[in-house]
């Protein structure tokens, strides 16, 4: 482990985190704009052209607000919970490949690290995300927070199973847990027109993944942990200022992360039509990747603008009685097909 | 050859266990379709499972080897040496199937009275039997441990099966906590064995332990921890406290099952461990086993005297029986091991028989496990009283019954190997045991009946009692066949 | 420096595991205990990583931290633990504790006294220690196929048992 390698990695992390935070800030703007247009409103318009500076204003507002710690909280956990939420959300990006292997000084610049067990890493990190929320709910010493935390842990545990099982289909097709290999496996096309993406053989798996991913990120229509009509604001009721902003940040980072993972697993990652001059070829994959992620984020917002919230028992029944069996069936079917294809 | 991971030999060796598993799952499924008054069909299905397993096991006493057309051959290895089917394993598998069948027979009526007649009971019992089979044929630490856990976890559940009964709940909790603790100790010992040899195969462990210097502290610790765990599972002193509570609290039919099947399975594991991996360090564990055997016989027999609850008394008597069987390990020669094998088989019949009578005593509103409940039984149901007398005589080891044969070989082996003191102590304790067994007998034959509720001898219990009685008397009067079989069995493991 | 770093990692992780484990059993508040338990489990995952067993480390995190402990936390948050906190925390079986701890200390002391040679640990038999998901698959589905299948039966029994013992009204 030599020094340049370490420095390069650090640099990559800094760049990714910086780009990500900017992207997340503009995801908020994007959401507000899209929802507004769906509801025949304008959305943010005041700060900058098309309200483009709105995120910046929001950040300044959140930072400068008074940070209130309610009495009776368990301080250490109360302070650590938002950090935990953000860290687990950010960690996912450590293994996501944003583009094909492009070396600069012997080091891949489009991925922080290519783990052999990339997919497992993502699963394990996202499974830890529940702690930020559950502990925030518990340590706030408030009934609303506690209920929000409880709901979220139940929800995340239930849907994590379906998510993990739906991913197994992709792993079976690829034969590897490395995300880069997952993408490489999707290069090419059928008959020159239909891209060789996993979403086509794995459409059931994709459906399960995306639905449970929405539930995992606590977004509508699965946003019961923070259902404002029932629980004020759920687990982060007692949080204010920067700490509230961190939960906010974690939620949107998770959305982005889930979109990135869905792109990588099911939509061929950075692959896309190749055109233009030689110089463009380095940037083009990044563009495709970005556009695909953007499309997913749009779907997120679209769903939010369209669907009503589930009732709690419906949520659990849907997860356990429909999604989980479906994901299991998909896994069995996929392994059967693979076994027939490659011989027992 | 199916493929390189799973061959037809593997399938054949595991066939009894696979059949039991299939029938266990089948019971779970058909249970959904049965009306409450048809629940006895679950038992029929479970019995069919046991029957098929027995059929696939092959003709007693040759079993699988005979099926493979290799009668007289050494043994059958499967799963890359993880299991080995020799006469020893087949003998025990038969024993477990018999215990399971008899226990199922006596359960039907009892569960109906308790209002807890459900398919899960039989499913768990069959799965426990699978665990026991694995214990009898396992040759690999991990396989053995999984079999052990499958067995004991099933038994924990069965112990607490009567959810509305506080005694049952308490017994299950005590058993679970202590059992989990002892499994932990056993596992620690096993991990040391693995650390010493770098393998989980018992034979490789045996060879690498025999190469170690004498008095190696690590071997010492491994032996002590493994003995601790094993002694717990057979209910030997000082790890016996769970046993009377679990026996008393568990449903009668479960007490019957756990006093026979899991006990024999634990002995199978104990014999395997002592004769294969720990054979070369015999002088390390021998004093330990002698001490534990004496303590077990002492506490088991003396504590049984003061009991007023028959199940609890049989619990303590089970402890003392474990003590006698440990003596067979102390002598360690052919007759000693033969004695253990016969003892376990005989014990299955006589203890299940005695428990079947107790199960019959359970009627509406009468639990029927106190000595007072047996008062004047002879006037109410002479059959039950006489059967109980015979089973108790056999448990005490009185000559015309089967119990005598087991004790005879163990005492004989003690004298052969020069443990005269131990033999004297053991015989003295047999006299003590007569005293407490006769407490029940005097209650049955000399006291006035306090009520006139006749024991309910349902068809299932009748059949179980008939089989137990026949075997108890047959083995007692004409022991030659079982002596021969046990001799072959011991020869296969001593080889 | 290259040789010191790995052992430094090990000692840091070992300290983390041991300290958190002790704190886990001494906390009065059950939620605190769970948090410290998470720290213990994370330390163990770290040890796996340190041994280049990435697969095991990830599974350790997914199963224990992301699964089992979340359920612990879930149950603990639901149950009223104020009563339990007032109860005596330890059963007071100090004699047994002292004897066990003494035995373990003697073991440890012997180890330090004799050095590593005193124990002749065996070399791991067969197979290299490559960190490879494929090797784990081979171990599970070929070498230990039978125990693996038995584990599924064990889980089945545990599941049936949990339902049988805990469900309020079985028909």
Return per-residue pLDDT of chain A as tens, 344 residues: 577 778 888 888 898 888 888 888 888 888 888 888 888 888 888 887 888 888 888 888 888 887 777 777 777 888 888 888 889 989 888 888 888 877 776 777 777 777 778 888 888 888 888 888 888 888 877 778 888 788 877 888 888 888 889 999 898 888 888 888 888 888 877 777 778 888 888 889 999 999 998 888 877 777 766 666 666 667 777 777 778 888 888 888 998 999 999 999 888 888 877 777 777 777 888 888 889 999 999 998 888 888 888 888 888 888 889 999 999 999 999 989 988 888 65
Helix (H) or strand (E) segment spanning residue B84: strand B83-85
pLDDT of amino acid B394: 92
Determine which of A320-324, B112-116, C37-41 has the lowest per-residue pLDDT on average.
B112-116
- What number is the average pLDDT over the span C109-133? 61
Per-residue model confidence as pLDDT tens digits over B429-451: 998 999 999 888 888 888 887 77
Read off the pLDDT band of B321 (50, 70, 90): very high
Pairing of strands A189-190, A194-195: antiparallel
Is the pLDDT at C125 greater than 50, yes or no?
Answer: no
Residue C154 resides in a domain: yes
Give the CA distances from residue B197 to residues B215, B282, C53, in Å, rounded to whole numbers and listed in that order.
Answer: 16, 18, 22
Three-state secondary structure readout of chain C: CCCHHHHHHHHHHHHHHHHHHHHHHHCCCHHHHHHHHHHHHHHHHHHHHHCCCHHHHHHHHHHHHHHHHHHHHHHHHHCCCHHHHHCCCCCCCHHHHHHHHHHHHHHHHHHHHHCHHHHCCCCCCCCCCCCCHHHHHHHHHHHCHHHHHHHHHHHHHHHHHHHHHHCCCCC
Of C31, C38, C66, the CB nearest to A124: C66
What's the pLDDT at B463?
A: 92
Answer with the residue of higher pLDDT: A226 or B145. Answer: B145
C70 has a chain A CB within 8 A of its CB: yes
CB B371 within 8 A of CB B444: no
**What average pLDDT does the segment B3-22 reach?**
84
Residue B22 at interface with chain C, using a CB cutoff of 8 Å: no
Number of domains in chain C: 2
Give the highest mean pLDDT range of B51-60, B244-253, C90-99: B244-253
Q: What is the pLDDT of residue A229?
A: 63
B157 and C118 in contact by Cβ < 8 A?
no
Note whether residue C110 is domain-resident: no
Cβ of C156 under 8 Å from any chain B Cβ? yes
| Residue B308, Cβ density class (10 Å: 0-12 exposed, 13-18 middle, ≥19 buried) | exposed
Which residue in the set B14, B120, B131 is minimally distant from C164, CB to CB? Answer: B120
Q: Under an 8 A CB cutoff, do B154 and C144 touch? A: no
With contacts defined as CB-CB under 8 Å, which chain C residues touch B14?
Answer: 146
* Among the listed residues B447, B477, B465, B362, the one whose alpha carbon sits nearest the alpha carbon of residue B115: B362
Higher pLDDT, B481 or C108: B481
- The beta strands (E) that lie in chain A are given as 103-104, 107-108, 189-190, 194-195
**Nearest residue to A138 (alpha-carbon basis) of B337, B94, C72:** C72
Q: A221 preceded by cis ω (within 30°)?
A: yes
Contacts of A164 in chain C (CB under 8 A): 62
Give the mean pLDDT of B161-174.
88
Average pLDDT over residues C151-165: 91
Q: What is the pLDDT of residues C64-115, one digit of tens each?
A: 988 888 888 888 877 766 666 667 767 777 888 888 888 888 877 877 777 6
Q: What pLDDT does C126 receive?
A: 47
Kindly provide the ipTM of the predicted complex, given to two decimals: 0.88
Task: List beta partners, residue B85.
Answer: B76
Tokens linked to A290: 């970005």
Q: How far apart are the first and last CA of chain C?
A: 68
Could you tell me the pLDDT band of residue B1, with boundaries at 50, 70 and 90?
Answer: very low
Asked if C41 is an interface residue toward chain A (Cβ–Cβ < 8 A), one would say no
Which of the residues A128, A147, A154 would you substitute to probe the C interface, choosing the one with the greatest number of C C-beta atoms within 10 Å?
A128
Task: Report whether pLDDT(B59) > 90.
Answer: no
CB contact set of B442 (below 8 Å; sequence gap of 6+): none
Cα(B405)–Cα(B477) distance, integer angstroms: 9
CA distance C137 to chain A (A): 12
Question: What does the DSSP 8-state code read for residue B69?
Answer: T
Candidates B79, B123, B152, B197, partner chain C, best to mutate (most C CBs within 10 A) = B79
Same domain, C6 and C78: yes
- What is the band of B186 on the pLDDT scale with cuts at 50, 70, 90? very high
- Residue of chain C whose alpha carbon sits nearest to that of B126: C157
Answer whether B157 touches C (CB < 8 Å).
yes
B204: which chain C residues are within 8 Å (Cβ-Cβ)?
A: 125
C30, C58, C91 — which closes off a domain? C91
**What's the whole-number average pLDDT of chain C?**
80
d(CA C54, CA B262): 39
Residue of B nearest to C103 (CA): B221
- Domain membership of residue C97 (yes or no) is no
Sequence-separated (6 or more) residues with CB below 8 Å from residue A67? A240, A241, A242, A243
Cα separation of A143 and A158, whole Å? 23
Please say if the pLDDT value at position B96 is more than 70.
yes
- The subunits that touch chain C, with at least 3 C-beta pairs less than 8 Å apart, are A, B
**What is the C-alpha to C-alpha distance for residues B137 and B152, in angstroms, rounded to an integer?**
17
Give C73's contacts in chain A (Cβ within 8 Å): 131, 134-135, 138, 153
pLDDT at residue B295 tops 90: yes
Mean pLDDT throughout B31-41? Answer: 86
Residue C37 maps to which CATH number? 1.20.120.1200
Kindly state the average pLDDT of the residues B370-396: 88
Q: What is the C-alpha to C-alpha distance for residues A304 and C12, in angstroms, rounded to an integer?
A: 46
Distance CA A196, CA A182 (A): 12
pLDDT at B68: 62
Asked if the structure places residue C99 within a domain, the reply is no
Judged by a CB distance cut-off of 8 A, whether residue C143 touches chain B is yes
- CA A158/CA A324 separation, integer angstroms: 9
Interface of B with C in 218-277 (CB under 8 A): 218, 221
C-alpha distance from residue A17 to each of A10, A12, A84, A97, A111 (Å): 11, 8, 16, 14, 12
**Interface membership of C38 toward A (CB under 8 Å):** yes
A264, HSE (Cβ side, Cα atoms, 13 Å): 26
| C116 at A interface, C-beta within 8 A | no
* Confidence check: pLDDT of B408 > 70: yes
A66-80, A231-245, B83-97, B369-383: which range is least confident on average?
A231-245
- Tell me the nearest-neighbour CA distance from C153 into chain B, angstroms: 7
C120 touches chain B (CB under 8 A): yes
**Band of residue B145 on the pLDDT scale cut at 50, 70, 90:** very high
Domain containing residue C136: 132-171
CA–CA distance, B21 with A322 (Å, rounded to integer): 28
List Cα–Cα distances, A202 to A277, A333, B9, in angstroms: 34, 10, 38
Per the domain annotation, does C117 fall within a domain? no
| Nearest-5° Cα angle at B202, B199 to B203 | 95
Q: Does B32 score more than 70 pLDDT? A: yes
Do C160 and B161 make contact, defined as CB atoms within 8 angstroms?
no
Whether residue B85 is predicted with pLDDT greater than 60 in this model: the reply is: yes
Does C105 reside within a domain? no
CA–CA separation, B425 and B10 (whole Å): 46
From chain A, the residues in CB contact with C78 under 8 A are 150
Residue in C with minimal Cα distance to A139: C31
Residue B356 · residue B391 · CB < 8 Å: no
* C38 or A136, higher pLDDT: C38
Burial of C116 (0-12, 13-18, 19+ CB in 10 A): exposed
Alpha helix (H) ranges present in A95-222? 118-139, 143-174, 179-184, 203-216
C3 & C54 share domain: yes
Q: What percent of chain B has pLDDT over 70?
A: 96
Mean per-residue pLDDT over chain A, rounded: 83
> Within 10 A of C115 (CB to CB), how many other CB atoms are there?
8
> Hey, is the C-beta of B215 within 8 angstroms of any chain C C-beta?
no
Contacts of C38 in chain A (CB under 8 A): 131
- State the smallest CA–CA distance between residue B150 and chain C in angstroms: 5
Residue B69 has pLDDT above 70, yes or no: no
Number of Cβ within 10 Å of residue B459's Cβ equals: 11
User: Does the residue C125 lie in any domain?
Assistant: no
Any C CB within 8 A of B216 CB: yes
Top residue of A2, A131, A147, A316 to mutate, by most chain C CBs within 10 Å, is: A131
Q: Is residue C100 part of a domain?
A: no
In this prediction, residues B383-401 reach a mean pLDDT of 89
């Amino acid at each position: 482990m030599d020094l340049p390698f370490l420095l390069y990695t650090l640099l990559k992390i800094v760049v990714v985190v910086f780009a990500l935070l900017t992207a997340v800030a503009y995801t908020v703007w994007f959401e507000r704009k899209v929802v507004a247009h769906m509801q025949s409103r304008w959305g943010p318009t005041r700060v900058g052209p098309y309200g483009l500076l709105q995120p910046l204003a929001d950040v300044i507002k959140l930072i400068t607000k008074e940070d209130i710690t309610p009495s009776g909280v368990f301080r250490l956990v109360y302070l650590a919970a938002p950090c935990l939420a953000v860290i687990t959300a950010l960690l996912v990006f450590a293994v996501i490949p944003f583009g094909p292997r492009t070396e600069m000084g012997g080091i891949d610049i489009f991925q922080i690290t290519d783990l052999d067990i990339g997919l497992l890493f993502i699963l394990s990190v996202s499974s830890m995300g529940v702690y930020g929320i559950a502990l925030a709910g518990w340590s706030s010493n408030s009934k609303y927070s506690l209920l929000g935390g409880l709901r979220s842990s139940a929800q995340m545990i239930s849907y994590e199973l379906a998510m993990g099982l739906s991913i197994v289909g992709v792993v079976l097709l690829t034969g590897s847990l490395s995300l880069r290999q997952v993408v490489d496996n999707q290069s090419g096309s059928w008959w020159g027109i239909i891209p060789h993406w996993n979403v086509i053989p794995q459409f059931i798996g994709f459906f399960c993944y995306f639905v449970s991913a929405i539930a995992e990120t606590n977004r509508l229509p699965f946003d019961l942990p923070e259902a404002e009509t029932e629980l004020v604001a759920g687990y982060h009721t007692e949080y204010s200022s920067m700490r509230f902003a961190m939960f906010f940040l974690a939620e949107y980072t998770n959305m982005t992360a889930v979109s990135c993972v869905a792109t990588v697993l099911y939509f061929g990652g950075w692959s896309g039509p190749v055109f233009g001059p030689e110089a463009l070829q380095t940037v083009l994959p990044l563009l495709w990747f970005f556009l695909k992620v953007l499309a997913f984020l749009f779907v997120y917002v679209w769903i939010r603008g369209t669907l009503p919230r589930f009732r709690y028992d419906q949520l659990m029944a849907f997860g356990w009685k429909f999604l989980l069996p479906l994901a299991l069936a998909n896994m069995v079917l996929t392994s059967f097909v693979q076994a027939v294809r490659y011989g027992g | 050859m199916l493929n390189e991971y799973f061959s037809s030999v593997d399938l054949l060796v595991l066939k009894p266990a696979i059949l039991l598993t299939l029938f266990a799952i089948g019971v779970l499924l058909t249970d959904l379709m049965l009306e409450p008054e048809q629940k006895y069909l679950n038992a029929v299905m479970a019995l069919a499972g046991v029957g098929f397993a027995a059929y696939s096991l092959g003709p007693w006493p040759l079993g699988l080897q005979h099926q493979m057309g290799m009668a007289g051959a050494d043994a059958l290895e499967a799963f890359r040496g993880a299991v080995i089917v020799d006469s020893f394993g087949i003998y025990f598998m038969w024993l477990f199937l018999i215990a399971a069948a008899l226990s199922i027979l006596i359960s039907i009526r009892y569960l109906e009275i308790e209002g807890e007649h459900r398919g899960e009971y039989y499913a768990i019992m069959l799965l426990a039997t699978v665990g026991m089979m694995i214990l009898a044929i396992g040759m690999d630490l991990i396989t053995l441990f999984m079999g052990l856990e499958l067995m004991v976890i099933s038994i924990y559940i069965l112990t607490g099966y009567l959810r509305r009964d506080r005694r049952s709940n308490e017994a299950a909790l005590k058993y679970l906590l202590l059992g989990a603790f002892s499994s932990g100790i056993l596992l620690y010992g096993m991990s040391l064995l693995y650390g010493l040899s770098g393998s989980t195969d018992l034979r490789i462990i045996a060879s690498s332990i025999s190469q170690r210097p004498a008095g190696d502290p690590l071997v010492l610790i491994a032996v002590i921890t493994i003995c601790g765990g094993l002694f717990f599972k057979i209910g030997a002193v000082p790890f016996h406290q769970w046993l009377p509570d679990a026996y008393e609290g568990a449903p009668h039919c479960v007490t019957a099952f756990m006093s026979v099947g899991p006990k024999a399975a634990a002995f199978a594991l104990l014999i395997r461990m002592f004769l294969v991996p720990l054979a070369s360090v015999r002088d390390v564990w021998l004093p330990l086993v002698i001490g534990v055997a004496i303590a077990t016989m002492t506490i088991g027999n003396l504590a049984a005297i003061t009991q007023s609850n028959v199940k609890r008394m049989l619990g303590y008597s089970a402890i003392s029986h474990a003590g006698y069987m440990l003596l067979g390990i102390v002598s360690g020669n052919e007759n000693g091991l033969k004695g253990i094998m016969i003892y376990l088989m005989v014990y299955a019949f006589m203890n299940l028989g005695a428990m079947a009578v107790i199960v019959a005593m359970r009627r509406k509103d009468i639990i029927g496990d106190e000595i007072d409940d047996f008062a004047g039984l002879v006037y109410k149901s002479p059959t039950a009283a006489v059967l109980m007398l015979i089973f108790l005589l056999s448990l005490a080891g009185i000559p015309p019954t089967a119990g005598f044969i087991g004790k005879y070989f163990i005492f004989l082996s003690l004298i052969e190997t020069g443990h005269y003191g131990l033999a004297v102590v053991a015989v003295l304790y047999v006299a003590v045991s007569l005293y407490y067994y006769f407490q029940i007998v005097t209650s049955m034959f000399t006291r006035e009946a306090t009520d006139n509720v006749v024991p309910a001898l349902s068809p299932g219990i009748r059949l179980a009692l008939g089989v137990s009685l026949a075997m108890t008397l047959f083995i007692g009067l004409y022991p030659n066949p079982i002596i021969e079989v046990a001799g072959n069995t011991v020869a296969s493991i001593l080889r | 420096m290259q040789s010191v770093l790995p052992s430094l990692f090990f000692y840091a992780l070992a300290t983390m595991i041991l300290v958190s484990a002790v704190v886990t059993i001494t906390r009065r508040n059950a939620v605190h205990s769970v948090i410290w338990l998470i720290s213990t489990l994370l330390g163990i995952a770290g040890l796996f990583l340190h041994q280049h067993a990435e697969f095991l480390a990830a599974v350790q995190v997914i199963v224990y931290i992301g699964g089992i402990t979340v359920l612990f936390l879930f149950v603990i948050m639901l149950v009223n633990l104020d009563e339990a906190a007032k109860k005596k925390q330890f059963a007071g079986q100090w004699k047994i504790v002292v004897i066990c701890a003494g035995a373990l200390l003697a073991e440890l002391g012997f180890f330090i006294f004799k050095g590593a040679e005193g124990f002749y640990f065996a070399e791991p038999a067969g197979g290299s220690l490559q960190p490879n998901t494929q090797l784990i698959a081979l171990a599970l589905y070929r070498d230990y196929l039978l125990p693996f299948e038995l584990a599924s039966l064990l889980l089945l029994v545990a599941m049936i048992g949990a339902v049988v013992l805990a469900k309020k009204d079985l028909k």
